[in-house]
Amino acid sequence: MIPEEEITAIMKILSEWNPLGKKANNVHDLDGYRTEAIDLLFWLELVDSKSEAIDLVQRLINGAFDLSLSRKECKEVGQKIWKFRRKQTQRL
């Protein structure tokens, strides 16, 4: 089970980035990007590098919302998520 504090932290990163922009107001079950945060944390267990984390963010967010974000557009948030995850795994 993924700890709630980790889910909340990733939700915050995604919400601040807000890849949907104004369209986020029209997504009824968005819930602060909770589902996407959980999915990212699950799949990050299989990722070995910052580059792969960026690719994961790009694939997951584009797939979840039918977007066409470039790798460049996902780079900063992918790096933030990777950095957070690395800190969490170093605690263990």
What is the mean pLDDT of the segment spanning 20-38?
Answer: 89
Question: For residue 58, which of 32, 78, 38 has the smallest C-alpha distance?
Answer: 78
Residue 25 has pLDDT above 90, yes or no: no
Q: In which residue are the tokens 């470039």 written?
A: 70
Give the chain's domain count.
1
* 23 is a domain residue: no
Residue 40 has pLDDT above 80, yes or no: yes
Query: Residue 35 and residue 32: Cα distance in Å, rounded?
Result: 8
Q: If pLDDT is split at 50, 70 and 90, which confidence band does 75 have?
A: very high
Helix residue spans in the chain (DSSP H): 4-17, 34-44, 50-65, 71-91
Domain that holds residue 58: 4-16+31-91
Query: Residue 30 and residue 25: Cα distance in Å, rounded?
Result: 9
Q: What is the pLDDT of residues 57-71, one digit of tens each?
A: 999 999 999 999 999
Among 10-14, 27-31, 83-87, whose mean pLDDT is lowest?
27-31
Mean pLDDT of all residues belonging to the chain: 93
* 80 is a domain residue: yes
HSE toward the beta carbon, residue 39, CA cutoff 13 A: 13
